[in-house]
Structure 1
């Protein structure tokens, strides 16, 4: 005969089974809670870990220097070739301008290929923007020169130059190049503000700024303003924004601005550029006089020994 379970045995078995179920449930609940807490900590820490390095490397000096050598300098070399060609055309009307334009179009294409592969740190968006604008400018210049090869030898050098400068591709190329230049100088302001907290990270200065306020601006902010002025006036020359800055400060220091009743930075810049009073190298010749203690990134065009 089978032995029947007593009431005590049955209660013990049911109690044991209940305790087993509770223990297993508690185990899995603990695993779930622990996993959730770990994931929450990871989500909380992740933005800090990813954002902090990005903030630390944005607009660092090495970014500005790298951009100078791999993007800015190739573009300026091309522009120097174009400016030199214009001077030769005007000096000798018998020059084969068609051949010259072919070479310039080829040079623009070559510089485009070089600038395109240059690495620009993505955490410095102004530099990336400038690179893209320089690329567009080079491509547009190549198109403009190629379009005008056939007619370049017609008429005088002045007529040929006016036709090229009136070309839609050329105008857009000039626009993009000046916009890129301003973005590069603006990135120097961002760099300076990370080094000196007294330099504003963002500014809303206009080229109509009064001379009283202009005089107290840090040099990097002045340079950004002159780059903005050149962009507004569609002026691309052999001199750079900081050369114009130095000539403006020299003009003010000489007392000429007060004598001529010029009240804004833009009005002085207009006078100087309209009369061809700015030259490449003006900044270097006046650097020790006006900017010995000013904060600047260590870029070759700011140093006389480079």
Structure 2
């Protein structure tokens, strides 16, 4: 583990550190904020999935709707899913079908992580996102730890048998109603999708439900890699979901931590801001794409970004055009 004194607690200091040769192992933790530039709403921000949830439209009992009103995360709870699969399926419907057709494109933030790999900095990406956009950049799959699973794989919560995504999406279109009222061909009422293997209605994308255990790989990578990290980048996450948020506490005490988020997060986890900051860098009240674009400039990676400009979503392309 390299010891570093940042010349200034800003992005310039982080770029100098990366260029210095002292930083050899970068670990990244991402959340929904790195994908909002692709048009995917996050969960907890105003207008996000939880904020806009309308339980009255969801196929559920009144008690289940009441639970979702008091705490929107009930829609992705393990107990809820095993009692009634339709809330999860109805809320996730457009994201499942959009993932199948790659409706969303990887953003500048995703490509910055790819550039870290190209320059041999990246040790591990821990992503809380289930959208699979990291793989669009051709990031080496073995470097990605999908902390909360992925929409791109489908399996049964009961027997664990996998189901081809395309086959599953046929059933989603046929069986699950559109609570967002954008698909005129969707059924008016929802019905369960049985598992082809065990016949129970527990088949779903391989995302981790609240109340379920995280993949074993998450804990293995944390123990083996975080204590040796030279830099931790935390991007687009509220740091309120455990145990993923514990990543910030598992790096060495001298490891710099770059926080890329529209507001300061993680104070309760020991991240320090302002005059008390000694190793934590807050990138300011900006989008993830804006921050990582600045880092790309500071690192001299503009040509890398220009080469993949056409693979970016429109908002990201506009930012690249300005450099």
What TM-score do you get using the length of structure 2 for normalisation? 0.31
**Bigger radius of gyration:** 1
What TM-score do you get using the length of structure 1 for normalisation? 0.32
Determine which structure has the larger strand proportion and give its number: 2
Greater relative contact order, per chain length (Cα 8 Å cut-off, separation 6+): 2
